[in-house]
Structure 1
Amino acid sequence: MIERMETGQRMSKIVKHNGVVYLCGQVGAGDTVAEQTRDCLSRVEALLEQAGSSPDRILQAIVWLADMADFDEMNAVWDAWVPEGHAPARACGEARLARPELRVEIIVTAACDA
């Protein structure tokens, strides 16, 4: 069974299937990449909780940065947030994001209660 949560015309914020939760890309508010990353991860955490999961159950994360020059600043926030011993498989690349003020977007797949 596929369960979709917070579904609109274009996308669902959460999709659950066979014990896996897929989140839509999350962005955050703020002027710096650190502020946006913190806010983004807070949103990820809230969606995971809503889906019956948590940061220590993340399987994979894909991080898009508007500028790879922000890599170290984003990683400082990421490293402090990821539970020790539970780092997921992760990729990070540079991409033009949906709005010019956005500096980071994170896409997460995690294990969840079926």
Structure 2
Amino acid sequence: MTDIKRLEIGPRMSQAVVHGGVVWLSGQVGAPGESVTAQTQTIVKRIDALLAEAGSDKSRLLQATIWLASMDDFAEMNAVWDAWVDPANPPARACGESRLATPDYKVEIIVTAAR
């Protein structure tokens, strides 16, 4: 039986869960009210930190799901994403528009990675 490791456990959710060599991150958001660029930069830094804590890194990403409050922000978010993602190991990715937890959130990113 493989153990389940939970990182940064809160009352509602864990920020990451590791099981069977796979790392699942919860949806990561930036500071409410910041620009799409600033929120995306905060998110990818947070992803890096959580993956490192779980024993992985962005070169091991398997999948990413990106939610934007407005698809009008697609190019702005992608400018940050493209500068950050490992070009030799990009994940499978989907991006869509969704109403996020508050109107001040513009971007939310969920990733799954191999350990």
TM-score range, shorter chain: over 0.9
SS across alignment from 1:31: coil
What amino acid is aligned across from residue 99 of structure 1 in structure 2? Answer: T
1:35 aligns with 2:20: no
Select the residue among 16, 19, 30 that pairs with 2:18.
16
Question: 1:81, CA displacement in angstroms?
Answer: 0.3
SS across alignment from 1:14: strand
Q: How does 1:22-61 map to 2 (within 5 A)?
A: 22-29=24-31, 31-61=34-64
Task: Give percent identity, aligned residues only.
Answer: 61
Alpha-carbon RMSD: 0.9
| Structure 1 runs not aligned, ≥5 long | none
Aligned length: 112
SS across alignment from 2:46: helix
| Structure 2 runs not aligned, ≥5 long | none
Q: In terms of mean alpha carbon deviation, does 56-65 or 5-14 score higher?
A: 5-14
Q: For 2:83 and 2:101, how far apart are their aligned partners in 1? A: 26
1:73 aligns with 2:53: no
Q: For 1:57 and 1:14, how far apart are their aligned partners in 2? A: 15
